[in-house]
Amino acid sequence: MRKVHIEAQRFEKYVLNKSFEDKDWNPSKEDSRKLSELIDIWFESHGRYLKGASQRVRTLRNLDRRLGSPIAKKVNPTSYMIERSSRIESGVTPKTCNNELGYLNAVFNELERTQTIDYSNPLKGVRPIKISEKELSWLTSEQIEELLSTLDKIGNEHVSLITRVCLSTGARWGEAEGLTAKNIRNGQVDFTDTKSGKNRSIPINDTLFKQLEEHMQNHGRFFDCIKSFRKYLKTTSIKLPQGQSSHVLRHSFASHFIMNGGNILTLQKILGHSTITMTMRYAHLAPEHLKDAEKFNPLAY
């Protein structure tokens, strides 16, 4: 009888151990939280600290509503792709849709990483839309002269100076527009709180430096004037692809920098690119690259 009792105890321990190991035997309650709830959790714990947080969470909440506010675990890839196709047909750009997918993936991946959810991203198999690389538009020296002359005649000091800063430093319009007196010192401009999160200090010529100092003494800052720039640009003979306006100034700086013999790695630091891949878009404009095309083409021998 004693032997039977010991075997019974051993069997009891075995069953208890198996009960904790076997999820089918002791299933946990299925996660029924809605996608909107997870977006809120993600935002409060992580998203609020990201650059452009308010715009990102607004995009996520709009996407949740378009998907019908589903239970997060049951987000259906097919339903998502159908909704995305409908967006594209309505005129939304593929880039915008890819950004939305990236934002949603980031929510699931972060919550899985922190064990807030115990399942994988239901959209992990959905691929972004492949986008053909657009040709980068940049202004010729003649076009730059026309643009600056037009702005000077109009007399909007804010637009004129911001344009010159962008052309002289490769800054984005918003970065240049956000300059204050403390960012202009020692013959250079300091860009802080940038898109990449990296601060940059770029030297400028004495004339522009003095103009900026005087402007800040008189105004303290730049006024919001991107709409004015776009309006003035239309009065010139310069024609740009749809969707491009002020960013052509940044492309123009980078293009002329390389064409004039600038180093690609130096350009990466000036533009604040996180990887060299983005900067390499301008590499084909390098003088040695162009000479190689002439030297090594099949008809050169």
Active-site entry in 172, 200, 215, 256: 172
Q: Is 200 a catalytic residue?
A: no
Q: Is 282 a catalytic residue?
A: yes
Distances in Å between the Cα of 25 and the Cα atoms of 28, 32, 155, 177 are: 10, 20, 78, 63
3-state SS, 116-156, equals: CCCCCCCCCCCCCCCCCCCCCCCCCHHHHHHHHHHHHHHCC
For tokens 């083409």, what's the residue? 297
Active-site entry in 34, 251, 273, 281: 273
Q: Is 284 a catalytic residue?
A: no
**CA nearest 76: which of 30, 129, 122?**
122
Active-site entry in 61, 87, 158, 247: 247
Active-site entry in 195, 219, 269, 295: 195
Task: List, in order, residues 6 or more apart from 111 with CB less than 8 Å away.
Answer: 38, 41, 42, 117
Q: Is 130 a catalytic residue?
A: no
Give the C-alpha separation, 191 to 176, whole Å: 8
Q: Is 185 a catalytic residue?
A: no
Task: List, in order, residues 6 or more apart from 16 with CB less than 8 Å away.
Answer: none
Give the C-alpha separation, 301 to 290, whole Å: 17
Q: Is 87 a catalytic residue?
A: no
Give the C-alpha separation, 138 to 235, whole Å: 18
Active-site entry in 73, 84, 250, 256: 250
Active-site entry in 80, 103, 232, 282: 282
Please identify every residue annotated as catalytic.
172, 195, 247, 250, 273, 282
